[in-house]
């Protein structure tokens, strides 16, 4: 904890809080980024100083890190206060703010942008690092996904130190990156998207897959035996000793059961009894608007965020089989201007249901659905989409800025 801060660090922390509060008061978001920036200018080692003496977990990966961080926080709160960057400010400025805002928290659960993992390993000396998955992401075209895995592998080798890694045994890129570490707890967290791991990240040969198992035909890199997994039957996580921990999640889909498995694996490394932690996960109803349920004109909308091809596939697995589906696609800066990735996503599972298409790039999406033989109608915006479907449940799937637009329409629902 931060009891022993230097005078400079205390001053930096005070300025950070002031800047964040001003930013909030002037309606510019939650102030995490600007606050952290100010604090780090005054004391460049502020993140390190604030992390000192706390038990930290870093959570990173392409998809699911916000939800897994939320689950992990809920689980560890069974034994103490947890500092967390719950608003998705997942770079060092956001981490610094999260720690500054919770000076008395003995624990910290920090969602970490994939590109800052090395920096955070050095600054926060985490007790645990959870690595979820790596796949192509429109938010970031700066680095090809295998190159990112290679960077992680190198970073973990030099900087993981005393950390225990909780890693997804089903993602070959994650296994390759994490296998350089001494202490790894493997979780069968699944991989719905296999297009980015058809070949071995270690040697470039073909990967064979048999059911859940995968193995390189050349160098022998293969799926490690997981200690934690999602139960085949019912909604539960199975722990290292074979014991079942029943889940009663409000968040949908197998992907979220896998996120829960990772959270329980992490929490148990912090000394939390998984039996005590599991029921706490069911209290999470939505995460920064994701999975939020909103009502408008007799329609019950459920909002699903899907930022990249893997995310879209996962969302189709989460939606109920019958309700109409609204798809909204934008291509603004943070989404990536190029929408060609929608051709990587198989939309055929939507055939036979009512599909409404909207967003800035609705025409691109319409052409894509046409190619997959899915019937649809095109409308101008979410209001028109609501009017186009009958009263009752509606599933809404949107990429990043499209999702934020829809949240704004519902007064930034959380
Ligand atoms: Zn290989």
Q: How far is residue 174's CA from residue 133's CA, in Å, rounded to a whole number?
A: 6
Question: Range of 364's domain?
Answer: 293-409
Question: How many domains does the chain contain in total?
Answer: 2
**How close is the Cα of 146 to the center of ligand 1, in Å?**
13
Contacts of 14 (CB under 8 A, 6+ apart): none
Q: How far is residue 249's CA from residue 270's CA, in Å, rounded to a whole number?
A: 22
Q: Do the annotations mark residue 200 as ligand-binding? A: yes
Question: Active-site positions?
Answer: 338
Q: Do the annotations mark residue 219 as ligand-binding? A: yes
**How close is the Cα of 189 to the center of ligand 1, in Å?**
21
**How close is the Cα of 255 to the center of ligand 1, in Å?**
27
Asked whether residue 287 is assigned to any structural domain, the reply reads no
Find the CATH number of the domain harbouring 197: 3.40.1190.10
pLDDT 10s digits, 4-48: 789 999 999 999 999 999 988 887 777 889 999 999 999 999 999
> Mean pLDDT throughout 279-289?
91
Q: Which residues surround ligand 1, an ion (CB under 5 A)?
A: 200, 202-203, 205, 216, 218-219, 221
Instruction: Indicate the DSSP class of residue 95.
Output: H
Could you tell me the CA-to-CA distances from 280 to 68, 147, 185, 247 in Å, in that order?
13, 37, 22, 9
302 and 266 in a common domain: no
123 and 52 in a common domain: yes
Find the CATH number of the domain harbouring 403: 3.90.190.20
Q: Which of 58, 78, 56 has its CA nearest to residue 68?
A: 58
**How close is the Cα of 301 to the center of ligand 1, in Å?**
45
299 and 275 in a common domain: no
pLDDT at 141 over 90: no
pLDDT at site 121: 96
pTM for the complete prediction?
0.92
Asked whether residue 15 is assigned to any structural domain, the reply reads no
Secondary structure of residue 203 in the 3-state scheme: coil
pLDDT 10s digits, 198-254: 899 999 999 999 989 999 999 999 999 999 999 988 899 999 999 999 999 999 999
Contact 316, 349 (CB under 8 A): yes
Asked whether residue 123 is assigned to any structural domain, the reply reads yes
Contacts of 204 (CB under 8 A, 6+ apart): none
**How close is the Cα of 216 to the center of ligand 1, in Å?**
5
260 and 135 in a common domain: yes
CB neighbour class for 274 (10 Å; exposed up to 12, middle 13-18, buried from 19): buried
């Amino acid at each position: 904890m931060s009891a022993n801060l230097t005078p400079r660090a205390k001053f930096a922390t005070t300025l950070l809080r002031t800047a964040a509060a001003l930013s909030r008061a002037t309606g510019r978001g939650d102030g995490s980024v600007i606050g952290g920036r100010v604090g780090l200018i005054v004391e460049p080692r502020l993140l390190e100083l604030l992390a000192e003496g706390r038990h930290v977990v870093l959570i990173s990966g392409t998809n699911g890190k916000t939800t897994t961080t939320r689950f992990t926080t809920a689980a560890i709160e069974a034994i103490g206060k947890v500092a967390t960057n719950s608003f998705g400010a997942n770079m060092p400025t956001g981490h610094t703010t999260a720690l500054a805002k919770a000076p008395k928290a003995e624990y910290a659960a920090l969602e970490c942008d994939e590109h800052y993992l090395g920096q955070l390993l050095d600054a926060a000396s985490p007790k645990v690092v959870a690595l979820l998955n790596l796949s192509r992401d429109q938010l970031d075209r700066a680095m090809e996904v295998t190159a990112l895995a290679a960077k992680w592998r190198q970073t973990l080798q030099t900087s993981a130190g005393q950390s225990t890694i909780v890693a997804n045994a089903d993602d070959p890129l994650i296994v390759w990156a994490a296998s350089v570490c001494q202490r790894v707890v493997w979780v069968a967290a699944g991989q719905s998207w296999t297009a980015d791991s058809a070949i071995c990240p270690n040697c470039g040969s073909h990967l064979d897959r048999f059911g859940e198992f995968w193995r390189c035909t050349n160098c022998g890199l293969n799926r490690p035996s997981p200690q934690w997994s999602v139960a085949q039957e019912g909604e539960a996580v199975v722990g290292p000793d074979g014991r079942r921990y029943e889940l009663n999640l409000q968040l949908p889909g197998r992907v979220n059961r896998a996120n829960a498995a990772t959270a329980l694996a992490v929490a148990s490394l912090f000394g939390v009894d998984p039996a005590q932690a599991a029921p706490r996960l069911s209290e999470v109803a939505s995460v920064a608007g994701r999975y939020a349920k909103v009502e408008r004109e007799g329609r019950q909308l459920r909002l699903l965020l899907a930022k990249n091809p893997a995310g879209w596939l996962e969302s189709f697995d989460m939606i109920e089989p019958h309700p109409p589906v609204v798809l909204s696609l934008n291509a603004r800066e943070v989404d990536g201007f190029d929408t060609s990735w929608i051709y990587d996503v198989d939309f055929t599972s939507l055939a036979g249901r009512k599909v409404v298409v909207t967003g800035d790039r609705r025409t691109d999406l319409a052409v894509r659905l046409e190619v997959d033989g899915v019937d649809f109608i095109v409308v101008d915006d979410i209001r028109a989409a609501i009017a186009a479907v009958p009263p009752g449940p509606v599933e809404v799937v949107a990429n990043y800025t499209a999702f934020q637009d829809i949240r704004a329409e519902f007064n930034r629902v959380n």
